[in-house]
Amino acid sequence: MKKIPYNIAGLLKDRILVLDGAMGTMIQKLKFDEFDYRGDRFKNYNSSLKGNNDLLSLTQPEAIFNIHKKYLQAGADIIETNTFSSTSIAMADYNMESLVYELNYESARLAKKATKKYKNNSTKPRFVAGSIGPTNKTASMSPDVNNPGYREVNFDDLVNSYTEQITGLIDGGVDILLVETVFDTLNAKAALFAIENYKNKNLLDIPVMISGTITDASGRTLSGQTLEAFVTSISHINLLSIGLNCALGAEQLYPYIKKLSMITDLNISVHPNAGLPNEFGEYDQNPEQMQNLIRDYLKNSLVNIIGGCCGTTPDHIRLISEIANDYSIRKTN
């Protein structure tokens, strides 16, 4: 079986790895308008494209490349591709299902180009994680309260959609597959099923990370699973790491990561938001504040991979990177 060249699992036994921060936050700072999203290629497209951040890998590749570069300069060991919504299911909102393979391939290629460029100036290995989001539909819940048995998408639809995404990501050169922001475990199981099928069919061994989302103080995912149930439901898969991201800040996620460290022997990842959103939906937690909160995770050896989600920037990642090597890793079996 063909393996990805560098032994990431081995590196995790030596030190904590730093994941990058938010792509969407950095894109928002660029204040792109409809014209920017369209670029020359889609200037006559028949519907609005503003907000389709993944499309920017095709229409504004230099901007995406520069965001990757800023995170690498900040000390990130792993950068994520700009593909959170690059599935046919999510791209249907823009009638762009036919672009899915290209979006994933080009996004992976851009990120890989950034890591290769940065490796020339450093002996520190850098990795690209293919970002696989949850899609905008859920397989285990109905969007209609008056018709609880209805589903917008089924398991097979998700498997087919994820397979197309995974193919583009791997062909584009990613080192890791990251199934993230899991709010419905059935969706995640479809992604993992698609990954395992791809690996077996193509005789490829690629590391897989998974990261769930605790939506509120109940400690459950949106589909109602407890943390323990989430871990159990995916325990049959050979994973590089399991973790949590999004919805909550570092302070709110801490007790759940602490609990996670007690119920799994896997490497643990966390990439929290920059606090909780304010009344305008913006994130106010500055890099110094987030660094102080992250320090508690590190002091107590709770994590192996740490980064940022919504509201985080290269400045947040820089301060996290500065302290990551000051603490011992979380020991795994």
Position 203 scores a pLDDT of: 94
| Pairing mode, strands 204-205 and 208-212 | unpaired
CA atoms 2, 161, 266, 113: torsion sign: positive
- State how far the Cα of 277 lies from the Cα of 247, in Å rounded to an integer: 9
Which amino acid would we find at residue 244?
L
Along the 333 residues of the chain, how does pLDDT read in single tens digits? 556 656 899 999 999 999 999 999 999 999 999 999 999 999 999 999 999 999 999 999 999 999 999 999 999 999 999 999 999 999 999 999 999 999 999 999 999 999 998 765 566 899 999 999 999 998 887 787 788 888 889 999 999 999 999 999 999 999 999 999 999 999 999 999 999 999 999 999 999 999 999 988 888 888 888 999 999 999 999 999 999 999 999 999 999 999 999 999 999 999 999 999 999 899 999 999 999 999 999 999 999 999 999 999 999 999 999 999 899 888 886
What does the alpha-carbon distance between residue 303 and residue 233 come to, in Å, rounded to a whole number?
A: 21
pLDDT of 5 reads 58
Under 8 Å between Cβ of 78 and 30: no
Q: Residue 118 has what pLDDT?
A: 76
Provide the pLDDT for residue 64.
98
The structural architecture, per CATH, of the domain 2-30+58-324 is: Alpha-Beta Barrel (3.20)
Strand order in the sheet with 305-306: 17-18, 305-306, 267-273, 241-249, 208-212, 176-182, 127-132, 78-80
pLDDT at site 218: 83
Give residue 100's pLDDT.
98
Show the tokens assigned to 327.
């603490």
- Amino acid 328: pLDDT: 84
pLDDT score, position 302: 97
pLDDT at 149: 81
Helix boundaries (H) for 32-147: 34-38, 56-59, 61-73, 88-91, 100-119
What are the domain boundaries of the chain? 2-30+58-324
